[in-house]
Amino acid sequence: MTNARIGAASDLAIDLADVTKMYAGRVHALQGVAMQVRRGEIFGLLGPNGAGKSTLVKIMTTIVRATTARGTILGAPVGHRPTLARVGYLPEHHRFPQYLTGRQCVEFFGAMSLMRRTERRARAAEMLDVVGMGAWGDRRVGTYSKGMQQRTGLAAALVNDPELVILDEPTDGVDPVGRREIRDVLLAMRDQGRTVFLNSHLLGEVEMVSDRVAIMLKGKVERQGSMAELTDDSRRWRVTIEGTAPAWCAEFARVSPLLEQGSGGSARHAVEFRNDDIAFVQSVIDRLRAEQIAIVGVREIRESLEDLFMRLVRDVDGRAKAVGAGNVNTGTAAGAGAGADAKGGR
């Protein structure tokens, strides 16, 4: 599934339709983005540099004005400011006031989210503990490392007990231990019923925690759905057998060359079925067994998120080149190399 509506409006934390953004100079950063994020899920947004991810996030948080935008955030129209009190946002490359302590900073953003003093003080202390900054909360932000600033930013994004948390590269500059901790925080947020919108370059990170993802390319959502939904097209079954595959297998399956040496010195081959009908696979297994062929394993094979991502990038680039051959002006902001996306992917 791609852009089809996935539920009633009340079930959706984010429901966008036809979001466009044209910057000066006719740079078309977003070209009719439609996206649905369910309440209580972690939703990952993927895309290469220049795909329009940050522009979309900034439109949702009113930092950038959309050229057109239909849709809702937490049930209110996009741009409805009072609703932002229930949204937490951690921008990429955020810069907090250096003269404030971490605690003052978190409390300040709590106040800006309309929290009253007593509750924001208690909540700031709690959130600093959650992100592992409790012991450092009374030192100035200017003395923090990048990772500490990122953790403080996360605490500031969570201080207002948000229903929707939008995180732009939350693990940027954080060490592996910190990344793991932040991942745990994201999962805990989902368990508490919050919606987490995660914009990240890190495919592995997104794949690990997200319930559903969207892949944006050149200002459009190319795919969105759960991992299973996105990779369903690529699902197939692989049967590994001892010895050589019978010739009839080649009619409906791809037989791979020697996979590995078996225990008795015999060769192992894999038979990969082109269709994902498990009943059909069962019948083939029965036939193989009837022919006394030893079956070592049966496994479901799917395209990884990275493979899917790279395939989409290549497809879209190919399409753009084909169009570009006849029409040089593509009118998109997405020009950065798609290969840059996969930076740190796995």
Partner 1 sequence: MHPLHREKLDAGDLAVQTWAQFVSAYRELNARKLFWVALILNAVVIGAVAAIGIDEKGISIFGYALGIPGVNSRLFPDGKLYKLIITTVGVSFWLSWISTILALLSTASMFPDLATGGVDTLLSKPIGRTRLLLTKFATGLLFTALQVSVFAVLAFLVLGIRGGVWEIGLFVVVPLMVVFFSYLFAVQAVVGLVTRSPIASVIVACLFWIFVFLVHSGEQFTLFGATASRLEIEGMEKKLASLQTEEAKSGLAAKLEEQKANDGNWRLAHGIFFAFKTVLPKTTETANLVARELDVRVNNAPADEEPQQDDENARRQRGFFRSQFVTEKKLSAEIQKEMDARPVWWVVGTSFGFELALLGIGVWYFRRRDF
Choose the stretch contacting partner 1; rule: CB under 8 A; options: 107-115, 169-177, 248-256, 327-335.
107-115
Contacting residue, 114, 250, 295, 336, with partner 1 by CB under 8 A: 114
Q: How many residues does the chain have?
A: 346
Least distance in Å: CB of 110 to partner 1? 8
User: Footprint of partner 1 on residues 52-71 (CB under 8 A)?
Assistant: 58, 61-65
Least distance in Å: CB of 94 to partner 1? 6
Radius of gyration of the chain, Cα coordinates, nearest whole angstrom: 24
Q: Under rule CB under 8 A, how many of the chain's residues touch partner 1?
A: 39
- Residue 93 binding partner 1, by CB under 8 A: yes
User: Footprint of partner 1 on residues 125-184 (CB under 8 A)?
Assistant: 153, 156, 160-161, 163, 166
Instruction: Kindly give, in sequence order, each residue whose CB lies less than 8 Å from that of residue 39, ignoring residues fewer than 6 positions away.
Output: 11, 12, 13, 163, 193, 195
End-to-end CA distance of the chain: 25
Least distance in Å: CB of 192 to partner 1? 13
Contacting residue, 34, 43, 96, 206, with partner 1 by CB under 8 A: 96
Contacting residue, 22, 27, 111, 296, with partner 1 by CB under 8 A: 111
- Residue 280 binding partner 1, by CB under 8 A: no
Least distance in Å: CB of 131 to partner 1? 16
Nearest residue (CB) to partner 1, 197 versus 273: 197
Total H helices, total E strands in the chain: 9, 15
Both structure tokens of 152: 């403080």
Both structure tokens of 140: 């100035």
Least distance in Å: CB of 156 to partner 1? 7
Tell me the β-bridge partners of 20: 31, 68
CB of 176 closer than 8 Å to CB of 184: no
- Residue 104 binding partner 1, by CB under 8 A: yes
170-177, long-range: CB < 8 A, 24+ apart: 170/90, 170/198, 170/200, 171/200, 171/202, 171/205, 172/92, 172/93, 172/146, 173/145, 173/146, 173/147, 173/149, 174/146, 174/147, 174/150, 175/147
Least distance in Å: CB of 142 to partner 1? 9
Binding region for partner 1 (CB under 8 A) = 23, 58, 61-65, 81-87, 89, 91, 93-97, 99-100, 104, 108-109, 111-116, 119, 153, 156, 160-161, 163, 166
